[in-house]
Amino acid sequence: MLHQKAITISDAFDLFLLDAQARNLADKTLRAYRVTVGPFLRWCDEQGLVFLADMTSADLRKYLIYLQQRDISSRTRYNTAKAVKTFLNYCVTDELIEVSPFNRVQLPRLEKRILPALTIEEIKAVLKACRNLRDLAICYVLLDSGLRAGELIALNGDDIDLKTGVVTVKLGKGRKDRVTLIGLKTRKMVRRYYAERGVPGEDEPVFVSFRTGKQLTLEGIAQVMERLRETSGVANCKCHAFRRTFALTCLRNGMNVYVLAKLMGHSDISILQQYLALVQGDLVAAHRACGPADNML
């Protein structure tokens, strides 16, 4: 084991990032660690906490209280604390410290709140607000496939099979390939889009910028959503809202939750269980309105 007193928190974090790069974690994940753990390092510096071995559970609890006092969501507080915990667990694994001070600290409670999905009326309003076939195809594919924004813009010509509806997501979240699908109406819309822009080659991006002719970026698709939001008046018009709508609609229509998890690229059903609760709430409301005994006797 390295001499613990000699390891500063900042040096340990540099080693943590180096290890993450060596394990071939996605650049997005590395950036996320810098964004979430970076403020913790600055806070430690402000507290005069320099060496890793000097960090205690009490210090971590003070930091969690500090986060509570800031105007940030429970999800942000939870993700920040979880990233710090991951960093300290690495420090134990790499023998920079013997025991993580986070072992005796609980993660902040995460509010079990599902952001709203899009209603049928909102979807129709967004589709009506589309100015071109590209934006229409984007909305159809997002709604029908459950793709994340980054996965959508990464699609190349050979990733969408318009005969079968199979969409291949290459190196999605967690660097895992998976398959999802689009239906007949969405395939028809993509064909219309291709008829206008030309069929992309196997290694050419499906969705391109009108300005550059190159692959649409995350910033570019965010601008598309912002434009549709302003034109349609649908405040919740975001890529992830389409993904939530896909999940909730599939469950309401009877799709097996484990099948849905595979289509969406979830490693387990813990997130989808929240959607299941909503669907069960639908059933309760339906029975209350239509149950024979309560409504006939």
Domains of the chain: 4-104 (1.10.150.130), 120-287 (1.10.443.10)
pLDDT at residue 76, as a whole number: 86
pLDDT at residue 256, as a whole number: 84
HEC secondary structure over the chain: CCCHHHCEHHHHHHHHHHHHHHCCCCHHHHHHHHHHHHHHHHHHHHCCCCEHHHCCHHHHHHHHHHHHCCCCCHHHHHHHHHHHHHHHHHHHHCCCCCCCHHHHCCCCCCCCCCCCCCCHHHHHHHHHHCCCHHHHHHHHHHHHHCCCHHHHHCCEHHHECCCCCEEEECCCCCCCCEEEECCHHHHHHHHHHHHHHCCCCCCCECCECCCCCCECCHHHHHHHHHHHHHHHCCCCCCHHHHHHHHHHHHHHCCCCHHHHHHHHCCCCCCCHHHHHHHHHHHHHHHHHHHCHHHHHC
The pTM of the full predicted model, rounded to 2 decimals, is 0.65
Q: What is the mean pLDDT, run by run of 10 residues, along the chain of 297 residues? A: 71 94 87 92 94 93 92 84 94 93 86 76 96 96 94 94 94 73 96 96 94 92 95 94 90 85 80 67 59 60
pLDDT at residue 71, as a whole number: 77
pLDDT at residue 294, as a whole number: 61
pLDDT at residue 272, as a whole number: 74
pLDDT at residue 288, as a whole number: 67
pLDDT at residue 1, as a whole number: 47
